[in-house]
Structure formats: C-alpha cells, structure tokens
Structure 1
Amino acid sequence: MEINIVKKKLSKVKTRVAYIYPSTYDAMITSLAPDFIYTIVNKYEDVYLERFTCRRLYGLEKEPRSIETNSKLGDFPLILTSLHYELDIVNLVRLLQAGGVEVFSSKRRNQVVIAGGPAVMENPIPYSDIVDVFIIGEVEVTLPRVLEFWLEYSDNKSRFLEAVSSLKFIYIPGLTHNTVLREYVRDLNSSVYPVRQIENIEVEPIYGRGFKLEVNRGCLFHCSFCLESRVFQPYREREFTVLKSIIEEGLKYTISGRRVVLYTPCFPVTSTHTRLLEYLVEEGFTASLPSLRLGPRLVDSLELIKLLGQRTLTIAPESFSNLAQFVFLKYTGLIDYVVMLIKSILDAGFNLKLYLVYGVKGLDQVELHRDLEILREIVKYAKTKNRRVTVALSPLIPKPHTVFQWIGMLNRDALTSQLRLYKSSLRGLVEARLYDIDLGIVQAQIALSPRPIGELVSLWAMHGGGLSGWRRAMREFSGRFSLDYVFSGYQFEKELPWGFIRLNNISEKVTRSQYEVARRFLCFQK
C-alpha cells in the first residue's frame, strides 16, 4: 500500500499523463527523479500524472496498468519517461509494446512520447525514431514550460510539436535544426522540492527506507570519464537552512522515521556537508550515504558517519594505477594518499565497498599489475582489522561528452583477458562483483550511436530484453550495425553526431583539453 499518492477525479481532469519509469517498481521508489516529476506535474489541477513500471526486467511484459487508477497505457495522450542510462530504452519499448502503443514516432498518430534524463542529454539520436520530444535539461525548469504548450495544443499533435520546438532546450527530430541548449536550475534553494515522497508500506527501496534528500547537484570535480559531471554542471548546493527545512517538512509525511537517504554526486566536500552531518547526528537521525569522495573532510567526518549508523562505506577510487589516474583526473598523483585514507577508514572500523574500472585503452600490463598489487595490499590490511572489503569491477564504458568518445573502448578479447587477470589475482581473497563485459559494450553501442536504432531496440524488446535478447536481435540484424565507433572512437577533429547538444561551453573546453592530456599519457592508435 502506498502513501502520499495524488488522487484526482478523472471527470475534472483536462488531460491525463502517463509516466513510464523504465525499470522495476522498487527501483522507481528508490530514485528521487520520479518524485520530482510526480510533484511538478500533479500540481496542475487539471492534469493528472499516473505511473507505470516494469513487472520484470526480462521476458514479455503483461499489459501495463497505471498504479493510480489501473488504466491502460492507451488511455493517455501524453507519455513521459526518463532514461537514466542507456539500457532503459528496451524497457520503455517493452512497456509500449505490451500496452499496445505504437513504438515508432513516425507512425504514432494520437499519442506523444516525451523523454528526458541523463541518457537523453548525452545523445538523443539512438532514440530519435521512438521518442517524439526530447528535453535537454533539468525537470524543474523545463517540464512546466512543455506542459503549458501541451495544455494549449493537446488536441493537435503536429501543432504541439511545432510549438514546443521553439524552446531552446527541446530537440524534435526533423523539426529542430539549431543547437540545443541544456537548461538547468540556477538556484536550488528556491526551486521546488518533493517533500511528500511516495512510500510503500510493503515494499522497501533498494537503499532502505528513508526520506530522500538531494544535498547538491553537479560536481566540484570534472573526472574525464564521468558523464554526470557534464550533464549536471555547474555545481550547486542547497544552503544548510534550506536542507534543514526540507527535512523537517518531509518528516511530516514519511513513514520511515528519522532516517534520511542522501543523494549527492560528491560528498562530503564542503562545510555545508559537514554541518548537515552534524545536524543529523544532533537530531538523532540515521542515514544512508552515497559513494564518498576521499579527502581530509571525509576523514574528519568518520565519527559522525558512524553515529548515523553507517557501517559500510562506498568509495570509488576507480584505479590504483598512477597512470590511469593521470587519465581519469580524479586522484591524480595521489595514490599513496588514497591508500592512506582508505586504511584510515578501515582503522575507524568501517567495511568497504570499492568501485574499480579496468580496460583503459593504452594502459600496459605493468599498470594493471600495480593496480592489483595495491588492491591486494588493501584487502590484506582489512583482514588484519577484521574488516570486510567487496569490489565492484566494471569495464570502462565510453560516453558522449567525455574524452572516451574519441578514445573508444578496449576490444572484447582484451577486456576478457584483463578481467581474467583480476579474477585470478583476487580469487579467495575478496568478494568481487563483476559487471558483464557484453552489457558494457551494449551500453557504449547505444550511447555513442550516430543514428537511430529503433528497429533494433524494437526487435530486442520482442525477444524479451536483456543480454540474450540483444544477442538474438543483433544476429537478425547481422551486418547492419557496425561496432567500429565503439572501439575506435570518433575523430577528434571532426564534428560529433551529438555536437548539436550544448551542455555548457566550459565542459566542452575542459573535455578537449583532457583528451590532449590522455594522448600524452596513453599509447593507443587512432
């Protein structure tokens, strides 16, 4: 049973909006984005937004029904969705197919599909024969303007598309011919916040129950591989007094007691972050923290974090290779310092989850062995402290707007060889959770695609999604989809397929300069 849902009489509603969250229900109630969308749309008295999710991530979906009124997807003239990463697209299509909604935008007469989210902002081209309208920007300052056009032109799809295409943050295939400028919230302190968050008495979110609190948006750092630091720039944080007010208001509606789940891409890195931790401890809260940024402020905050009930800290050093760090630009030249801080965390009594990346093109075996040597040192040190370390190991997946759009991905055989080395070196020493190499390649194929892939995705969805469904679809499309751009990358001097998307001028300049740095440190052929 859910609480904090919105109920409206359909007879008094001018337009109904379906929101498809292209994953499972428990993933939806874990994410904060659906709460923003639900709050923003349903504040319109004559608009009713209802939610749809996948029952499962693989196989054929049953006919989807809205959570609020058990309505069919075909009952909604407007469908919103947010693609948080590339593989979400097949779940969107699976739900459209199961709901009897035409998948291809060129054939869809009476319904409009609008998409936003990080995967859209990086490169909308792969989805451009499925989605009618792409929102390039943050929901608080974009969706209300789109809805105003919809309320005026909802009875005429072509007029709506023409009207909404005038917005500079909108991309409509076939109608948009100019540069698309990402729109973002200038001041988080004065922007809307969803304090009445949907919770379910019977279903627990992935990170546990708690009031979801977005502390800041964007990142103070600009790691060369990171998409999020590009699509959510510049760094903005809510003032402590605003955060305190949001928490106090949220407590009126939550069933989770005095527990908060913090959402932030870099934490703790400012005095506001420290003050927030102090306040939560003073007021008797417990908390779930995100991946933490290594630094002196984290070390100084360890006792506060322990008092909040956190027993395992998640850290993403990415690599213990100095050369890799010079390319990633995360902890450049600081490996000894990073190891010292990690040992300090273990000394303080925490378990650790480490996120590591392998498969940097041009990194030699010496660097790989150095990475493993330090990792083994940390794991052995943890055992002396009776602490547990788990490792999440992923191949490097190139994304648009990062240096790896030009460098490309290491080929599958080389990735498999490197993964085999990690597995053999860590076997019996540490629990390692491995991200599937082929799934990484699929992500890159979609993210970097220079053309629409709706036909492939539609077939993929018919085969039930998942990796096996992708393989079947690719076999049937044999020879029609080249993976060259995934592994070779794009030419540095040439215009990129998604070059018409302008996230911001600073990010573009920084990325180009970072690529020049990578070329000096890595040995790869172009």
Structure 2
Amino acid sequence: MNYRIPLSAFRRINKPGRYLGGEVNSASPKKDCPSIALCFPDVYEIGMSHLGLKILYERVNSDPRFIAERVFAPWQDFAFELKRRGEPLRSLETGMPLCKFDIVGFSVAYEMSYPDILEMLSLGKIPIRSSERRECDPIVIAGGHASFQIAPMKPFLDGVFLGEAEEGITEMLEVCSDFTSRSERIEKLSKIDGLLIFEKEETKKKRIFSGFSNSCEPMAPVVSSVSAVHDRVAVEIMRGCARGCRFCQAGYITRPVRYRETSSIKNTIFTSLKNTGYDEVSLVALSTCDHPQILELMKSVSEPLSQRRISISIPSTRVDAFDIQVALGSISGRRTSITLAPEVGSERMDRVINKGINRELLISTVEKIFSNNWHSLKLYFLIGLPMELESDVNAIAELLNELAPLARRKSASIRAAVSIFCPKPWTPFQWYGMNAPDFLEEKIAKLKSKTHRSINLAIHGMNVSLVESALCRGNEDLSNVIEYVWRNGGTLQSWNELFNIELWRTAFSNFGIDIEKEACRAFGEDDKLPWEQFDSGISKKFLMREKRFAEMAGEDKNNSYTPDCSTGACSACGLPCKDLNLSPLSNEISITPSTIPTVEAKQKIRIGFYFQRSGAGAFLGHLDMVAIFERAIRRAEIPVLFSQGFTPRPKLRFIMPLPLGMGCESEYGELEILDCEIEDVRNRLNSVLPEIIRITKVEDISGQRSMPIVEKSFFQIESKRIKTSLDYVKIFEKSYRRKKAVREIIPLNQLEIIKCDDGIATILLTHIEGGISAGDILEIIVREDEEAKITRTGYKFSGA
C-alpha cells in the first residue's frame, strides 16, 4: 500500500483493492529517470480495461531509460478520505505523488470525464489551470479519442497529443531527459509530431503509427487485482476502419486501415496468456471480421487454446460478416451471445448513414443466429439521426417486431439498445445539432409504444446525451462550466448513479449558456469549427462531400454508397495513405508447435494448501482472491483439473472466506491436479503470486475428506481499546434476518477470550449454525476502534 493512510481506514472505502497496487506485471521502480503518469479519469476497473493505456505502459517501461506509472480516478469516498487527510493522489507502482512526475498524461475517451481530470489534478497537488502552474509542476497533456474535440479543456492542459502515441511518448520523455526547465521542455515538446502545445501553435495534424503491422504490445499487461470490466487478454488485430459510417467518429479519426501481421498476433496471444494467466482472448478492432486472414488466424490458434480451456471472443459483428462469426463460433466452441449493430430500421436511413445493410440480410442473419444455437442477441440502434423521419423510427419497431417471433420459436431473447445520436466532430454529421429533447422524447415514446413487449428495449439517458453533445461541440467558454461542476462535487459523471443533470443545468445557466441550444445548434459549412485546430487529417472537403451524399440519400436522390476504400478505390479523404508505406500482409500462417501443450496421462491427486494474506492483502475480496489464484495456476503451468459443463473452472476451493479488512496467517484451500512434486507446486505458485499472498504449506490429501468442517477459529485483535471492545462484545446481541423470517436473538456465548493484555487479544470463535460470523465480530469491534487490526491465525477442524 503506497498511501500514508492507516490500513484500517480502508474498511470505510468501497472496493479498497482499487488502491493497493503491487499487481502482477506492474513496473519495477527506476531511480533518477524521466517519468510519466499515465492517468485515466475513471475508476480502476474501467481504466485497467483500456487497451491504449496498456500499450503505452509497456512501450515506456520496456525502455530502461524511462518509467511510466498508473494513476486512476478515485471513487468519491476515497477522494474524500484523501482530502480529509491532506494526502495527495499517488501512483500505484511507487506511490509517487502526481505532482512529482515530469509529465502527466490523461487518456480521455469520453467527454463526461472532463471534471474528473480536474479532480485528479487537484488531488495530485497540481494547479488545475495551466496559467497557474509553476516551474516545479509537471507538464499536463491529454490524448485519446476525445482529444480531437477537447477545446473546452484547453485552459486546464498544457497540450494535447493527437493520434497514436507509441513513438511520440518516448520522444516526450527524451525531451525531459535532455532539458530540466519547464519552459525549455515546453519549447522542445512543441516540435514533436502530433503534440500540440497550446501556448506555441494554433493547429497540428494527428500522428499515425506506421509500425503497427509488426508491433506486439502489450505482451505482459498488468493483471488487475480487482475484477476489471474486461478481465482478459486484448489483442488489437487491426487499426482503423474505412467502412465510412457517417455517424462514427472512431472510424474516421483512426484511419488509415492497417492490419497486424498474423505472426505478431499469435506471438502476442500466447506470450500475454503465459504472462497473465487469463482464460479468454479478445481479438479487438472496430470491425474485427474485416481482417483478411481472420478465419485462418482463428484456425491456427484454436487447438492450442482449447486444450488450455481458453476461449476466444470478438466484439460486435457487422451483419454482413455473420457467416464469418458462425465459423468463428464453431472453431471456439462457444455459444454465449452475439451482438449486431444495424443502427437503423429503414433502407432509406441506411443509405443516409452509409451502413450498407439491407433489411432482408438482417432478418436472414438473425434466423441463422438462432438456428446455430445462439440464444441471446443484442442489437444496437441510433435515434435522432439527421434527416430521420417518423417513418424511420417506426421502421425500427417494425423490424424488432418481425424479429421477435424468430426468437420465441427458439426460446431465445433479443435486447435492443437504443442510443441517442450525438453529432461528433470529424464526421460528415459534425455540422448538424442534436435533436431537441422534446422531439426526441416523442420519438422514444412512439418507439416504445410500437415495439413488442417480448423485446427488451433499453434507451440511453437523454440528459447524459444532452451534456455530452454540448461538451463535444463547445469551445473554451465551457471551461468555466466544467470547473463549476467539479467544484460543486460533480465527479464521475459517466456513472448513472452519480450523474447530476441539475448541477450541469445550473453550471451552464450561471455562465449565460443555454445547454439545449449549445447541444442542438447546427454549424454552417463556412463556420470555423471549435475543433479545427485538432486536425484528424480528414479533409473538410471530403466530409462536406459525404454530408451532401447523405442529404441526397435522405431526399431519395442518391441510392449508392461510398465504398470501403481499404478494399476498393481511394475515397480521397485527405490522409496520405500512399506516403505511409503500409506494407501488405504476408501469406504465411502456421501453428507454432511449442505453443501446443501436451499432457501425459498421470494420476490425479488432491492437495491442501495453507497461505498468508496480510497487510494490503486483507482488502482483497474473496472473488478477486479466487481469480488471482486461478491466474497464478495458469502462469505457473500447474496441471490443474477442470470442472465439467459449459464454463469449465479449475477445481479450486477455499474454506470460510474472510470479510474485507481482516487478514489471515493461515487460510486454507484445496486444488485438484495431475500428479507432480508437491513442494514444486508451492514454489511455482509463490513465484507468480503477488507478494501480499504467500503459500506456507502444501500437502497431499488425496485420501482424506474434501473441505474439512471448521469447528473453531483463532483470531488475534490489536487495538488500543481492546478491553473496552471485548466488554462491549460480551453483552452484544444480534438478530438475523434470513429467508424473510427473523430468527431468535442469539447471545454471543460462542466467543472465548484466551488472552488479553498490552493491546493485543487472542480469541477463539466456535462456529455454530446460525451463530455470529467473523464479519460480525469485525463490525462490533470497529464500532469502538476503527484502527483495530484483526487477523485469523488458525483453525480447528471438526474431528481433529
């Protein structure tokens, strides 16, 4: 634990494992070298799933000259604790305060996280406005998809990196190595391609990483201690998308399309699996099935992965790529759920957005989905698009109603997620405004009323979309609005339970801005747009041409689509694709023999093991601890046995999980494996487990009863008020509510005090059915002394 806060204080914190650090594959400290804090303005489990952060982290830390450390936004309870104690926001690796780094880099994926950037700067003891920063303060830079419309955040940033930073991030640290003064660094940083320093220049074009095809990062991503949103190996197999969907900002700002070599993909898959212990691989891209060798790639890796009980997944699928998805499903053997994104319901709107999917194809695809034993289908739609008519909204309901019987016949389900269209910069629709909220409410009401009740219809929040649209299309004038929201507690606004529309409305109103007019205003084609200085490389001429094609399609004057330039003719979007020397894919795809594990027939044995989990390890939840052990078993290549069924799991069990905040000196678990040297199992697991967990004893228990019954547990309590606490416990009574029936009040006669002196007590707890639990003891004692430390020191098994 890197924070100078008593461990006991973390009992009051939601998910304290977010702040522990010490994860597998986290960077080792380096002394006296340029440093960058890779900051993600959302909580740990969101940021740890961000692939871009993982790539840059490994790219920097693989260079012995530099160090990158991670910093995530704290949840509101921990932020309050930091403020109360005057403790700065620190990195997870070394506990360095944010203000001590040379560069602070924010990966900004979403406009709603803008207030969290200010919160992190303030907690990190960095002045929030760039004009107030001193010579000793770090240089604050933003990057990520939202950096192409980040004008409202300019007063808070020193600069923004546009595009892909694999090469640029080390160039920035080289500047910090060569120059010590902040002003000199600012001057030199402005010379780096893709890095726009606000006080030096007006505009800059994005940077394109031409070495993507043969790159392999991340090979050893940090393995999160707390369950992340995406707990799996993520391998980016292609970058960019040239399909040309006119609403999709990601498709335009990530151009040109580049495919990763299959040899690099396979190398990343197998190496990262070995280094992490994950049991799932996700092949990531905006349109994964567009990779020319996707089927061949899947066939080449399926056998070694299936032998290891490792599954393969891909993100949402284009309707016209479903035949590939069927083949992928047959290779991987998994039939969980599938996601399609038709976006619209009518062919007219399909031409407007340039999606290229007709109704008949979608219906036949859904029939294939259910006939191929998928039982769950998710569909994505947009509402409020430019040129959308009432008939187009009705067409979504009609389409869903036509699909509903197909699902019912196969006892399957359909979930339709409907998002409100927010016109994003650097798309052909950037000149349009968001639909007025009243108009959108009418559309949504009609959609709900016309859609069959068997369809699970989920509508994205109107108010969130309103704020998002205003922020992504605004200029520097909105900086005061963002600061007001932050100063009045508006953090983590991307979380539904914390989003506060009234606070946003007040903030806009206080600075004379109508939030609805800001979100819904349209721009003229000759207007200077607030985001033009953040040049994506896509020409304005091309975007205007696509806008006019959309308008002609809306008037039924254009029945054609703009083709995919990665497979057809160049669409003249303005990017210098020919100058980038993008090499074609090689045709070689092979299976590397060493990647296919071979298992000899051996005797099955069951082992029991004892382990310690103390200090910060006391704040790992039980399910997180189970996941840590499962991944450690994979990394250590222990020949574990698996359960049967649809989702096989390692045969691993633990006895009597402890509540958060309670450590243990002797926790017990069991594992079923193929016969091997018992002591070797202990050594191999300890070599890959986090330092906060240590296996102390392993024994062969093959002939004994599985999972012995615990009769008594020994606990040690350290507290300045231990006698007062125990006197309180003796007279405490607790009622239990289970299965809607209130049990009798049970006195705590199951507790025996063995020893109590000098602030330390040893107690023996007898476990009886319906009696008080170890968690109840913790709760009672913490009432009297929140600094108390409780450790389980051992068990007494029934019959022992």
- Normalising by structure 2, what TM-score? 0.61
For residues 377 and 289 of structure 1, the distance between their equivalents in structure 2, rounded to whole angstroms, comes to 27
Specify the alignment match of 1:188 in structure 2: 212
| Larger fraction in helix | 1
Residue 380 of structure 1: how far off its partner (Å)? 2.6
- AA aligned to 1:426 is T
Relative distance call for 1:48 and 1:458 in structure 2 (3 A) is: same
Specify the alignment match of 1:369 in structure 2: 394
Cα deviation per residue 1:42-91 (whole Å; 9 max; x = unaligned)? 23334322211123279955433321123322332421111012112222
Relative distance call for 1:62 and 1:302 in structure 2 (3 A) is: farther
Candidates 142, 150, 153, aligned match of 1:127: 153
Q: Which moved more, 1:187-196 or 1:31-40?
A: 187-196
**Unaligned stretches of 5+ in structure 1?**
none
Query: Mapping of 1:208-287 within 5 angstroms?
Result: 209-257=231-279, 259-283=280-304, 284=306, 285-287=310-312
Contact map agreement 2:164 2:207 (CA 8 A) in 1? yes
Specify the alignment match of 2:164 in structure 1: 138
- AA aligned to 2:140 is V
Candidates 112, 137, 142, aligned match of 1:87: 112
For residues 63 and 424 of structure 2, the distance between their equivalents in structure 1, rounded to whole angstroms, comes to 36
Candidates 11, 17, 28, aligned match of 2:47: 28
Relative distance call for 1:439 and 1:427 in structure 2 (3 A) is: farther
Relative distance call for 1:306 and 1:353 in structure 2 (3 A) is: farther
Cα deviation per residue 1:359-383 (whole Å; 9 max; x = unaligned)? 1243221221122101121123111
For residues 313 and 349 of structure 1, the distance between their equivalents in structure 2, rounded to whole angstroms, comes to 11
Cα deviation per residue 1:472-517 (whole Å; 9 max; x = unaligned)? 2441441522443531321112332222333224x64432111102
Specify the alignment match of 1:511 in structure 2: 543
- AA aligned to 1:188 is F
Is 1:417 matched with 2:448? no
Residue 404 of structure 1: how far off its partner (Å)? 2.0
Relative distance call for 1:27 and 1:468 in structure 2 (3 A) is: closer
Specify the alignment match of 2:145 in structure 1: 118
Contact map agreement 2:431 2:525 (CA 8 A) in 1? yes
Residue 239 of structure 1: how far off its partner (Å)? 1.8
Residue 458 of structure 1: how far off its partner (Å)? 1.8
Contact map agreement 1:215 1:263 (CA 8 A) in 2? yes
Contact map agreement 1:239 1:272 (CA 8 A) in 2? no
Compare CA radii of gyration and give the structure with the larger one.
2
Specify the alignment match of 1:172 in structure 2: 197
For residues 339 and 452 of structure 1, the distance between their equivalents in structure 2, rounded to whole angstroms, comes to 47
Residue 307 of structure 1: how far off its partner (Å)? 4.2
Contact map agreement 1:54 1:61 (CA 8 A) in 2? no
Relative distance call for 1:14 and 1:472 in structure 2 (3 A) is: same
Contact map agreement 2:400 2:452 (CA 8 A) in 1? no
Relative distance call for 1:410 and 1:293 in structure 2 (3 A) is: same
Cα deviation per residue 1:280-314 (whole Å; 9 max; x = unaligned)? 3232241222111222x431441432442241111
For residues 96 and 191 of structure 2, the distance between their equivalents in structure 1, rounded to whole angstroms, comes to 32
Specify the alignment match of 1:499 in structure 2: 532
Specify the alignment match of 2:85 in structure 1: none
Relative distance call for 1:485 and 1:472 in structure 2 (3 A) is: closer
For residues 42 and 330 of structure 2, the distance between their equivalents in structure 1, rounded to whole angstroms, comes to 32
Matched residue SS, 1:287? strand
Matched residue SS, 2:298? helix
Contact map agreement 1:314 1:352 (CA 8 A) in 2? yes
Residue 185 of structure 1: how far off its partner (Å)? 1.3
For residues 216 and 177 of structure 2, the distance between their equivalents in structure 1, rounded to whole angstroms, comes to 21
Matched residue SS, 2:229? coil
Contact map agreement 1:96 1:102 (CA 8 A) in 2? yes
Greater RCO structure (CA 8 Å; 6+ sep): 1
Relative distance call for 1:261 and 1:428 in structure 2 (3 A) is: same
Contact map agreement 1:185 1:191 (CA 8 A) in 2? no
Is 1:149 matched with 2:175? yes
- AA aligned to 2:360 is D
For residues 429 and 277 of structure 1, the distance between their equivalents in structure 2, rounded to whole angstroms, comes to 35
Instruction: Give the number of aligned pairs.
Output: 512
For residues 218 and 211 of structure 1, the distance between their equivalents in structure 2, rounded to whole angstroms, comes to 20
RMSD (Å) for aligned C-alpha atoms? 2.2
Relative distance call for 1:222 and 1:57 in structure 2 (3 A) is: farther
Candidates 338, 344, 361, aligned match of 1:337: 361
For residues 212 and 267 of structure 1, the distance between their equivalents in structure 2, rounded to whole angstroms, comes to 12
Contact map agreement 1:225 1:402 (CA 8 A) in 2? yes
Specify the alignment match of 1:455 in structure 2: 480
Relative distance call for 1:215 and 1:57 in structure 2 (3 A) is: farther
Residue 469 of structure 1: how far off its partner (Å)? 4.2
Contact map agreement 1:13 1:47 (CA 8 A) in 2? no
For residues 79 and 157 of structure 1, the distance between their equivalents in structure 2, rounded to whole angstroms, comes to 13
Matched residue SS, 2:155? coil
- AA aligned to 2:463 is D
Specify the alignment match of 2:183 in structure 1: 158
Cα deviation per residue 1:452-474 (whole Å; 9 max; x = unaligned)? 53322122122232275453244
Identity %: 23
For residues 81 and 345 of structure 2, the distance between their equivalents in structure 1, rounded to whole angstroms, comes to 46
Contact map agreement 2:508 2:514 (CA 8 A) in 1? no
For residues 432 and 91 of structure 2, the distance between their equivalents in structure 1, rounded to whole angstroms, comes to 43
- Normalising by structure 1, what TM-score? 0.91
